[in-house]
């Protein structure tokens, strides 16, 4: 069992690594007792530190490691979730400086904006869709605090699921009119297609990933609140970012979201 001061110590190490942009070794080698449950406690502590230090607040959640391909690649058996803070939100058209990151990558995702509370247990895809007011195209910038993006599931969970920033496209749609499994997506970097995907890449249906998270949150006495945003998990693999890159993710019928990276 990790003692409270160790949870605190790990959360502080992650906070400093992000703030000063250096990468660190994964923790499971040093703390073999760190399992997923303890890792979510570290994540909670990290979020408390960020809210206090950065005078920010929670605005939602994100799913990570939601595709089979990514789970196999990372050797993990289930997805992860993390917290989105107001300070992580960027807006389309804002130039984004790559100097803010350690080794960022970009992921095309669907954003769900909730009109009603979504609370487990036994939440289904239909419950997620019924509580969703809008969906919108989104981009997530991920940036692991671990060297070479090398980690185990508990490490990634502690690190708030590699979250860094997110951008939500400006057009919102009711989810009712779409079969989100079949929603196609084309991801371009500097005008070239770098990946393609569909909603079904996210656990068969993006809302299934959210149902999984909400049922897990229930065990912690937590739920998704009205007004909160949840990022579904990526519809394709993550793509590395370099200075000068321009990205666009174009989703079937709901439009495009773009990001431009500067020095």
**What is residue 225's DSSP assignment?**
P
Binding segment toward ligand 0L1, per CB under 6 A, in 30-38, 87-95, 142-150, 244-252:
142-150
Residue 134 touches ligand 0L1, criterion: CB under 6 A: no
Residue 46 touches ligand 0L1, criterion: CB under 6 A: no
Q: Which is nearer to ligand 0L1, 72 or 126 (CB)?
A: 72
Residue 180 touches ligand 0L1, criterion: CB under 6 A: no
**By beta-carbon distance, which residue lies closest to ligand 0L1?**
64
Among 18, 127, 140, 143, binds Mg ion (CB under 5 A): 140
Residue 127 touches Mg ion, criterion: CB under 5 A: no
Distance CA 35, CA 187 (A): 35
Binding segment toward Mg ion, per CB under 5 A, in 23-31, 129-137, 231-239, 250-258:
231-239
Residue 107 touches Mg ion, criterion: CB under 5 A: yes
Q: Which is nearer to ligand 0L1, 174 or 240 (CB)?
A: 240
* 107 torsion bin: left (phi>0), alpha (psi -120 to 50), beta (else): beta
CA 38-44-47 angle, to 5 degrees, is 145
Pair of tokens at residue 87: 């300070």
Residue 234 touches ligand 0L1, criterion: CB under 6 A: yes
Which of Mg ion, ligand 0L1, none has residue 157 at its interface (CB below 5 to 8 Å by kind)? none
Distance CA 188, CA 185 (A): 10
**What is residue 29's DSSP assignment?**
T
Q: What is the b/e burial string over 87-126, where b = at least 16 CB atoms within 10 angstroms of the residue's CB?
A: ebbbeeeeebebeebbbbbbbbbbbbbbeeebbbeebebe
Per-residue binding string, Mg ion, 143-172, x by CB under 5 A, is ------------------------------
Residue 65 touches ligand 0L1, criterion: CB under 6 A: yes
Q: Give Cα 76 distance to the centre of its chain.
A: 16
């Amino acid at each position: 069992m990790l003692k409270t001061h160790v949870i605190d110590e790990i959360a502080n190490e992650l906070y400093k690594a992000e703030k000063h942009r250096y990468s660190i070794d994964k923790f499971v080698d040093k703390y073999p007792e760190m399992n997923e449950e303890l890792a979510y406690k570290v994540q909670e502590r990290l979020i408390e530190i960020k809210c206090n230090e950065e005078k920010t607040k929670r605005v939602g959640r994100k799913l990570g490691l939601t595709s089979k391909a990514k789970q196999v690649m990372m050797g993990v058996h289930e997805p992860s979730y993390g917290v989105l803070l107001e300070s992580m939100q960027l807006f389309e058209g804002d130039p984004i400086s790559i100097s803010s990151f350690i080794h960022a990558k970009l992921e095309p995702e669907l954003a769900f904006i909730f009109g009603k509370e979504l609370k487990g247990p036994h939440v289904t895809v239909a419950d997620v869709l019924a509580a969703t007011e809008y969906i919108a195209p989104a981009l997530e910038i991920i940036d692991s605090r671990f060297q070479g993006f090398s980690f185990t599931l508990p490490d990634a969970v502690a690190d708030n699921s590699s979250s860094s920033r997110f951008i939500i496209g400006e057009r919102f749609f009711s989810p009712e009119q779409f079969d989100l499994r079949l929603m196609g997506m084309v991801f371009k970097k500097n005008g070239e297609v770098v990946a393609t995907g569909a909603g079904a890449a996210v656990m068969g249906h993006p809302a299934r990933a959210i149902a999984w998270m909400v049922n897990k949150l229930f065990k912690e006495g937590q739920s998704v609140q009205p007004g909160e945003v949840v990022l579904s998990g990526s519809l394709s693999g993550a793509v590395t970012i370099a200075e000068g890159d321009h990205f666009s993710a174009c989703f079937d019928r709901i439009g495009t979201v773009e990001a431009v990276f500067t020095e």
